[in-house]
A = this chain, B = another copy of it.
Amino acid sequence: MPRTVIRSVRPWGGPSSDVVLDDAVVREVVPAGEAAAGEVEVAGDDGILVPSFSDVHVHLDSTRLGLPFRPLTAGPTRWDRIMNDRASWRTAEAPVADRATETLRRMIALGATRVRSHAQVDADSKLEKFEGVLAAREAHRDAASVEIVVFPQVGIHLEPGVPELMDEALRAGGDLVGGIDPCEIDRDPRRHLDTVFGLAERHGKGIDLHLHEPGELGLFSMSLLTERVRALGMQGRVSISHAFALGSGLPGVERAIDGLAELDVAVTTIAPGGRLDLPLERMVTAGVRVGLGMDGQRDYWSPWGNADMLERAWMLAYTQGWSRDDLIELGLAVATWGGASVIDGTTPRLTGVGHRPGLAPGDPAELVVLRGETPTSAVMDRLPGRTVIHAGRVVAADGELV
């Protein structure tokens, strides 16, 4: 791998520096102009260098980005949306693999090089959606790392054959076992979680479970999950997606957060609208690994989502009600390094407000150069003209893959 020098960038908005990359890691950071010539030279143009984005909660299998806009035809409940997707996805203008590949391309071009995508496995689609996400990962294998969660969107025990399909997908390249709302979907939380943890144990995989359940119900499901993490020694290998119950303000939230920290259960958020968001600063300070994701992207569930994790970081800061620069930078840290620490249990977690991680010698050369005066102004303005680096190589510049 060629020794690469990024010339004149400002790590987290700091002094202008040259950043030397080698063997897919950051080798050294020196004042601008002081690095010896690299085999590859990258003009930083005094941009802001931060770790690349990690989209740790996306559904590449459902995206319609780039296709004709389609009004939403789903009813208001989660089940309505599940069934609207089932009724619609086969008639999309392009197959899953093409849609997933195109959306992943956009995500990388905008700065995400670490992705955790769910891939729905159910009695209707069988492994077709999963295989579409596999194809997208393969298409961009040199530009991004993609983890795939084998995701039983329609529940595990409502329709026949789902555990067997999940088993097959885990053998065929799935990285994590998914699950969803153990009470509300299967209406049998013990059986749901036993199957999820059983698959994880059998395959030696981690878990990422969607938990939309609100308030006390969500806290109950969370407690069922964490007691299994403790009993099975799964510390550091389980994530909860959404975890809306942690935004409920209920008295049980504080204890739940401490429990997640103790058992090293990660949380991914999408900066949801229409509800109070998670107590993010508290969670990070408590030691919970937290990452950010885009969720669906203009799909059969909603028109939201546009592949730009910098904009999602901006939405995160807004939904959190943040105006302070150090908090907005925390949002950027969650969207970049926070997600990296969710994906890889060996990446050190964010320690709190003011932590500017990921740019020290030895850190992975997964980087993005943003335009802006400060990290906060970069989040506010969400400008184009980004340079994206994966495994020490420039993989995208000015919105195009290279």
Complex-state Cα separation, A149 to B277, whole angstroms? 33
A202 within 8 A of B: no
Cβ–Cβ contact B301 & A323, under 8 A: yes
Known pairs A72-B325, A328-B303; A320 contacts B377 (CB<8 A): no
Complex-state Cα separation, A71 to B380, whole angstroms? 12
A127 within 8 A of B: no
Instruction: Find chain B residues with CB under 8 A from A303 CB.
Output: 323, 325, 328, 376-377, 380
- Please give me the residue from chain B that is nearest to A325 by CB atom: B71
- Which of B275, B301, B318 is in CB contact (< 8 Å) with A273? B318
Instruction: Find chain B residues with CB under 8 A from A273 CB.
Output: 317-322
Q: C-beta contact mask, A292-308 vs B, less than 8 Å → 1, else 0?
A: 00000010011110100
Cβ–Cβ contact B71 & A274, under 8 A: no
A residues 314-348 near B (Cβ < 8 Å) are 315, 317-325, 328
Complex-state Cα separation, A306 to B381, whole angstroms? 8
Q: Is the interface of A mostly helix, strand, loop or mixed?
A: loop
Instruction: Find chain B residues with CB under 8 A from A381 CB.
Output: 306
Cβ–Cβ contact B276 & A275, under 8 A: yes
- Copies of this chain per assembly: 2
- Which of B68, B304, B377 is in CB contact (< 8 Å) with A373? B68
Complex-state Cα separation, A72 to B329, whole angstroms? 12
- Which of B274, B301, B319 is in CB contact (< 8 Å) with A322? B274
Interface size for A (C-beta < 8 A) is 34
Complex-state Cα separation, A298 to B302, whole angstroms? 30
Complex-state Cα separation, A401 to B288, whole angstroms? 49
A145 within 8 A of B: no
Cβ–Cβ contact A304 & B380, under 8 A: yes
Q: C-beta contact mask, A61-101 vs B, less than 8 Å → 1, else 0?
A: 00000001101100000000000000000000000000000
Cβ–Cβ contact B69 & A321, under 8 A: no
A374 within 8 A of B: yes
- Which of B69, B324, B374, B380 is in CB contact (< 8 Å) with A377? B69
- 25 A-B pairs within 8 Å (CB atoms) are namely A69-B373, A69-B376, A71-B374, A71-B376, A72-B323, A72-B324, A272-B321, A273-B319, A273-B320, A273-B321, A273-B322, A274-B277, A274-B320, A274-B321, A274-B322, A275-B276, A275-B321, A276-B276, A302-B323, A303-B328, A304-B318, A304-B380, A306-B380, A315-B318, A319-B319
